[in-house]
Chain A
Amino acid sequence: MNFEFTEEQKMIRQAAKDFAERELLPDVIERDTRSEFPAEHIKKLSELGFLGMMTDLKYDGGGMDTISYVLAMEEISKIDSSVSVVMSVCNSLVNWGIEKFGSEKQKEKYLRPLASGQKIGAFLLSEPEAGSDATKQRTIAEDKGDHYLVNGTKNFITNANCASTYIVIAQTDPEKGHKGINALLIEKDAPGITLGPHDDKMGMRSSDTHSVMFTDVKIPKENRIGEDGFGFKFAMQTLDGGRIGIAAQANGIAAGAFERALNYSQERKAFGTEIGNHQAIAFKLADMAVKIENARNMCLKAAWLKDQNKPFGYQSAMAKLYCADIAMEVTTEAVQIFGGYGYMKEYHVERLMREAKLTQIYEGTSEIQKIVISRSLMK
């Protein structure tokens, strides 16, 4: 056992913290209010290599481990999860998926520009009528010999507009059920792809979320990831890794709110003393600290297992479930500690609370995580 981070891991965490505080913090509230996509910030983030952190150096990525990624995700999420969600999709869904399961040709063509941050990716799985039950894909990729013809609608797609490269999950052979599903790589500007309006969300308001419509979109066969029918397995394995990123995001949201509440408790006075000196607040802070410590350890363990090439799906589901839940609890308590000020936008904690809610929903709801966990228990 070793709980010490490496020199590089500490440096990455510091770089992410510096970036978040210097670049993201100044306008985060305005961006949230206006649902404004942080295009400039994402550009800088990609130039620093945060979007392809874990991809191998030989594909122009950062060559880092999952633990580094978790530390960076947490620091960025302390300030702005609309930005960290872009990191999450690029790193753990799109890039990891192509690197792990794509062909050499696909890696050269698609992974390299993604890993180096020149391009952004999106992962298109959810559908209006297939959310938690991802086996029921209504988007069809009809086998036309040398290509697939794709028709259907995907929704709640993060990065839908800013991405250049999509991985779309679609049904080729409905008779085979989820074994007839494929994962296909496609450029966003392909003919037949149209975007719905920007989704007006409760939190992470400045992330770029749209529905995406496919009308007779031709995708060459060589753009299929893996064998015919591998798509569902691809999606599930990729999501296992994605959960670590979301757990880290949830921890960042919780820690961000906690740090603010802790500072406030040491400054704000009531009944003649700093509110942190009142047991009602002090115990809240203690409870919050314990939860965050637990959550971090769970998340790091899942990351460590992944780095050791050991099975991690069970631990990543637990981490995602627990971290998202405590993010909700901790941010709610942080708002409570701030009292009336906490309800005001100026103090950040209400925004963090809104952001926390999404971590219980996307990349598998908390209920889905429980299915994954309980199935692992009883298999």
Chain B
Amino acid sequence: MRADMPQNQILEGVRVLTLEQVHALPWGTSFLADLGAQVIRVESSAHLQDRKAGPFPDGRPSQEWWNEGGNLAYFGTRNKQSLCMDVATPQGKEAFLKLAKNCDIVTDNFRPGTMERFGFDHESLAKLNPRIITLSSSAYGYTGPWRRAGSRARTVDATCGMSYLTGYEDGPSYRASNNYMDHSVGNNVAYALLLALYQRNKTGEGMRIDLTMQETGVSAIGPAILETQRGITRSRLGCGHLWKSPHNVFPCRGSDRWIAIAVSTDEEWQRLQKAMDEPLWAADSRFETAQGRWNHRHHLGDLLSEWTQTQDDQELMNHLQSNGVAAGAVLTAEDLVANPHLGERGYIEEFENVNAPQAGPRKYAGRPFRMEGVSFAIRHVAALGEHNVETLRDVAGLSDDEITTLANEGIISTQPLPTETPP
């Protein structure tokens, strides 16, 4: 940790033991790690997909690829500890249970059944540690006919109803996102765990949490869930709106440059006209009322596009905003890194991973909230197995000899197996 960084105290002393893969759960536990919890990520040297996921410096993994990925730093082992240990072996299992005995929270995102097979299910862990909070994050939960189904974030966008509602105007349904649901689920994981800790502070009792991706997704489309029960269907509108117009993206100068403009009231429409220097077409009586503008939204969009398409997206946004019109340039990642607003707010952070010096300093999105005296910065990104000794000695209570034996037997390690193929 850098000396000039304030140390977070909020979750100091809270220990989280996590068997996590891919995206949703690692994203969720990273919030607890930011807040100062000791988050021990148990990894297997035989399953290093997350460390293979990159992105790698200039797109090329180096010889020590397993410690240098950008996703690893952004959420994978961000502010966490890494214990690289094969929990499928009897020795690994025994050590895991010793760790769990002295942790507050155990989380996993295996398919339901796997934790039980290992002997790590809630009942088994609660016998060792009655105050334990366990959370399993799965696609469909531990009960119900779909409990054994696997998922990807986008298949959950589908089963929760979100993708059905997504699409260009009058077009077919469309995959809502590649990983929006991973993040929504991760956020929900962090919220549920903080609730459980809050509850335990009051009652002294642990808790079992069965969190699902599908249900988190359904909770994000509540209005459509209510509407369908009264026979109301929600049409696909792309960037359009049920009653606002203009409310869409319009082309700007350059390749694939666009501006979003959102007008709701007559007053805002008048502001837009003023910003356009009152063109004759805009005075058309068909555009006078919100209903008229919506009914003729395609024609209105075509006329507005003629005005926007010769202009620079960001200059146009500033011009429209200075006239009180809601407008936003459709920014790329490159634009965001250079964005003056985010720059002044110190939102984009630069971080240099000491475990991957070859990667040099790289940029990351920050947390979207600020609190006085609390840093949410990336402080450290754990290398594979970096905390093997520290966690087994200080949390599991193993002796140095026992740890050496585990290392000699290959139960713990700090490197991929020799048979592992690089990404």
A binds B: no
Give chain B's interface residues, CB within 8 Å of chain A: none
**Residues of A at under 8 Å CB distance from B?**
none
